[in-house]
Amino acid sequence: MTNEPLAKELVKLKEEVTIMGRLLADQVLKSVKALVDKDSQLAKEVVEKDDMVDKMETDLERKALGLIALKQPMAGDLRLIGTVLRMIVDIERMADHAEDIARIAIELHDEKYIKPLIDIPRMSNVAQEMIETALVAFIEEDVDKVNDLIPMEIEMDNLYDQTFRELLSYMLQDQKNIPQATQLLLVAGHLERLGDHATNLGECVIYTVKGEKIDLNQIARQQKNN
């Protein structure tokens, strides 16, 4: 049974992880908006805020390790703290993907797009929804909600495949399209990876609640191929 002081610290720790996750989701939104709107100032804001995410990761790691050292948590609570340590690494890596998208937005600022950006914003929306779903599942310790990530992951993969095929066709049509199409394909790849990291967050919730390790990406691949 969790002692009351530790229980309060764990609630606070979960809230701070959620704040970090929602800052990340905002970074994703702004990075893609900067790309679509050719807003280099917004893109630079995303790049500058990445340091804030890095600092949050460091602070949360210190707090989590402090709880292990000072509070001597029992098995269930220790599992939660271990989950936090894993989640903040995933969130920080996701923020790096958002930063990379912002840097591409800056690089492409003066170029006319070879095609309207349709699927990339859709991928961004799915990524943000996956992040929010994982965070809510974490706060509520809701394993059933984690399952909602599976169809989203399938949708994300389908959008990536569609984007890849379309951009490849533009490359084949005119070699002048290759540099920009390659950059846009990198953006799609970053967004697809965000989906993978979001499923990692969901796996962390399952491990916290049930002590089981489940590969949500593998489940999504199996359902996609059936």
pLDDT at 2: 54
Residues 117, 38: Cα–Cα separation, whole Å: 11
pLDDT at 217: 87
Task: Number of helices (H) and strands (E) in the chain: give both, helices first.
Answer: 8, 0
Q: Which amino acid is at 111?
A: E
Look up residue 132 and give its DSSP letter.
H
Residues 117, 52: Cα–Cα separation, whole Å: 29
Residues 152, 113: Cα–Cα separation, whole Å: 27
Per-residue tokens: 194: 């965000």
Residues 99, 49: Cα–Cα separation, whole Å: 9
Tally of CB atoms within 10 A around 163: 23
Mean pLDDT by 10 residues, the chain (226 residues): 78 95 96 97 96 95 92 85 95 97 97 95 97 96 95 96 97 96 98 96 93 88 84
Question: Which is it for the CA torsion 160, 163, 169, 171, positive or negative?
Answer: negative
The structural domains of the chain, with segments of one domain joined by +, span 4-225
Q: Which residues contact 179 (CB under 8 A, 6 or more apart)?
A: none
Give CATH for domain 4-225. Answer: 1.20.58.220
Residues 18, 23: Cα–Cα separation, whole Å: 9
Residues in the chain: 226
> Dihedral through CA 80, CA 81, CA 83, CA 86, nearest 10?
180
pLDDT at 226: 75
pLDDT at 211: 87
Residues 180, 143: Cα–Cα separation, whole Å: 41
Residues 31, 39: Cα–Cα separation, whole Å: 9
Tally of CB atoms within 10 A around 110: 8
- Closest by CA position to 156, among listed 97, 86, 72: 97
Cα-to-chain-centroid distance, residue 207? 18
